[in-house]
Amino acid sequence: MTLPSEDTRVLYPSGAVDLQATVLHSEPLADGRSAVLLDATCVHPVDAGWPDQGPDLALLHHGAAFWPVEDCIVGATDGSALYIGDDIPVGKGTPGWAFVVVHVVDAAGLSAGDTVTVEVDESLRDATSAGHTSCHLASLALNDALADRWKKEVRPDALGHPDFDGLAIDESLIGQNASVDTYRLGKSLRKKGFTVEGFAEALASIEAAVNATLLVWTETDATVRVDRDGDLLTDRRFWVCELPDASVRIPCGGTHVSSLGTLGAVTVTLALHDLDGTDVLTMNTSATR
């Protein structure tokens, strides 16, 4: 089968959970499963470049048959071969390469030209979207709470505060109505002007400040949307939250709820531990809906 020459068209940024699509390519994988490429999809894939949000659960229907999507991963092709996940050898936007959504199914049976109905698990999508929106809110609130710990000017976040989250983040994992973010408070962060001294003693007050800000924001029921430059997989997308005093815009390729009021109570817990001589801050965020 011919591999596609342009990126997959993706509809999940708009909240879509079902659509009809055409199979462009299907090939066997080493583990016996099959990789299916569609012209368009509403299934959110995991991106090995920044795997914060995992794949949707979904089904592909064709006639009376259906295939559970066991995994969904960003892939890329130069027209001669398909590369998946960590095996992709080039960056997004490389001329001559198409970045595609790879739907991994358990068996063969789909061929190029087949029309399929794509159906995403709505409950998991909603819970994951709530976790992702809560994660962005919490990171902004944390930046605000830590603003007075900077002795040098650094890049600002979307609200104009020093971007601790962007400068210190080590890993971010989005779950159902929850997220876990870890930050390294190491030498490079201190060289940028961040004050680590007294951080452990101030942890409880920092946590309280973050939660107070989150309470104010969620009570506004501000609208949330994903703006995008286009519908192709590598087109830029932005999380936008219309807070009363500011329109917040953050680059993001994930899925989100439509308003802060749907999150219920968003709270964080902060913990600090030592990892090989470096302080590591963990922020657990949860949305109690």
List phi, psi (to 5°) of 190: -65, -40
Helical segments of the chain, H only: 122-145, 164-168, 187-191, 199-219
pLDDT tens digits for range 63-88: 999 999 999 999 999 999 999 999 99
91 sits in which H/E element: none
pLDDT at 108: 84
Distance of CA 250 to the CA centre of its chain: 12
pLDDT tens digits for range 166-203: 999 999 999 999 999 999 999 999 999 999 999 999 99
pLDDT at 107: 87
pLDDT tens digits for range 103-126: 999 988 999 999 999 999 999 999
pLDDT at 65: 97
The per-residue DSSP string of 127-190 comes to HHHHHHHHHHHHHHHHHHHTGGGBSS---B-TTSSB-HHHHHEEEEEEETTEEEEEEEE-HHHH
- In this structure, what DSSP letter does residue 220 have? T
**What residue has token string 């092709």?**
77
β-pairing, 82-84 with 98-105? Answer: unpaired
Predicted TM-score (pTM) of this structure: 0.97
Average pLDDT of the chain is 98
* Confidence label for 153 from pLDDT (cuts 50, 70 and 90): very high
pLDDT tens digits for range 206-218: 999 999 999 999 9
pLDDT at 249: 98
Residue 46, pLDDT above cutoff 90: yes
Q: What percent of the chain shows pLDDT beyond 70?
A: 100
Domains of the chain: residue spans and CATH: 9-120 (2.40.30.130), 123-288 (3.30.980.10)
Q: What percent of the chain shows pLDDT beyond 90?
A: 99
- Compute the Cα dihedral for 25, 30, 34, 36 and give only its sign: negative
* Confidence label for 47 from pLDDT (cuts 50, 70 and 90): very high
The answer to whether the beta carbons of residues 73 and 79 sit under 8 Å apart is no
pLDDT at 232: 99
